[in-house]
Amino acid sequence: MTAAITVDARLPVRRRPVLVIAGAAFLALVVLAAAFAPLLAPYAPDAVDLSASLVGTGGDHPLGTDASGQDLLSRVLYGARTSLIAPLALLAIAALLGVTLGTVAAWRGGWVDTLVSRVTDVMYAFPGLLFVVLIIAVFGAGITTSVLGLGLAFAPTIAKYTRSVALTERAKPYVDAYRVQGMGGVRICVRHLVPNLARSIVGYLVVLFGEALMSLATLSYLGFGSQPPSSDWGLMVQEGQAAIVQGALLPALVPGTAIAAVVVAFNVVGVWAADRLGARR
């Protein structure tokens, strides 16, 4: 554990922090907006007002409304909850599976490593979204199925990464020292090896967050994820796109911009964090 920290501390900061600070500040704002959506949103996110369909920006509706007269500001604020929590849940599932598989493969080696590596190779070769669509075809559409499916789809990526860093970690002297003391493999992995990998894995997960958010938004956009009247941003883009030909940009532009901004911010912060935490090698 100590060795890893020493190496990471010597890494140069490769990026001017202005963008990172801006990105982190923006993400903090988004998290606050999501947390306090009920206080900040002027309307309920699913409140329908057919007399205010596709109105532009103005006092009653600062970001306008969609075709059903639903307030876009309220929807995008509430939508931040789904759009932040769902990728977190997805990555938690993927990390649980991926870290377990990657650690077992690296620790046991031999046929176990070969088997895990080939299985993850096969899954890695299969398009993730297509895999999830197949799962949805069996279990039905919805945000829960999407999160579970994408969690499975992301797991091989994390497993491969974990295996690679765990192989390096396993070769370090402290692991042999614990073995000499008679400590079992499971205990070494759970109490020492995985905690020592945590910084790298967390850095990697932060980078993956943007991709997870985009994948979930894509599924909702395609009608496989969140269902109406949810204010999931991907679903909002889908619902708003028909209004574009009627000259109303905001119903698609507002959630589209929210997705783009959060993904970019997560990438900027994530890449910086990954550098600092030694996740990028």
Please give the residue ranges that form the binding site for other proteins (CB under 8 A): 46, 48, 50-51, 53-57, 64, 67-70, 141, 207-208, 210-211, 214, 222-224, 227-229, 237-253, 256-257, 259-260, 263-264, 267, 270-271
Q: How far apart are CA 11 and CA 219, in angstroms?
A: 38
**Cβ closest to other proteins, residue 79 vs residue 192:** 79
Shortest reach from residue 183's CB to other proteins, in Å: 36
Least gap, CB of 186 to other proteins (angstroms): 32
Q: Specify the 3-state DSSP secondary structure of 71.
A: strand
Do 74 and 42 meet the contact criterion of CB atoms below 8 Å apart? Answer: yes
Phi, psi of 124, deg, nearest 5 = -65, -35
In whole angstroms, how close is the CB of 248 to other proteins at the nearest point?
5
Terminal-to-terminal C-alpha distance of the chain: 17
Query: Residues with Cβ < 8 Å from 67, sequence gap 6 or more?
Result: 53, 54, 239, 240, 242, 243, 248, 251
* 107/221 with CB nearer other proteins: 221
Cβ 259 to other proteins shortest distance, Å: 6
- Based on its alpha-carbon atoms, the radius of gyration of the chain, rounded to whole angstroms, reads 22
Nearest to 209 by CA among 117, 140, 279, 125: 279
Select 146 or 196, whichever has its Cβ closest to other proteins.
146
Q: In the complex with other proteins, which residue's Cβ is closer, 107 or 266?
A: 266
CB-nearer residue toward other proteins: 117 or 220: 220
Minimum distance from residue 198 beta carbon to other proteins (Å): 20
Nearer to other proteins, 8 or 275 (CB): 275
Taking alpha carbons only, the member of 228, 211, 186, 221 closest to residue 263 is 211
Of the candidates 212, 217, 214, the residue with the CA atom closest to the CA atom of residue 151: 212
Taking the complex as a whole, how short is the minimal distance between the CB of residue 225 and other proteins, in angstroms?
Answer: 10
Reading the block at residue 224, the tokens are: 């496989």
Beta bridge partners of 71: 65
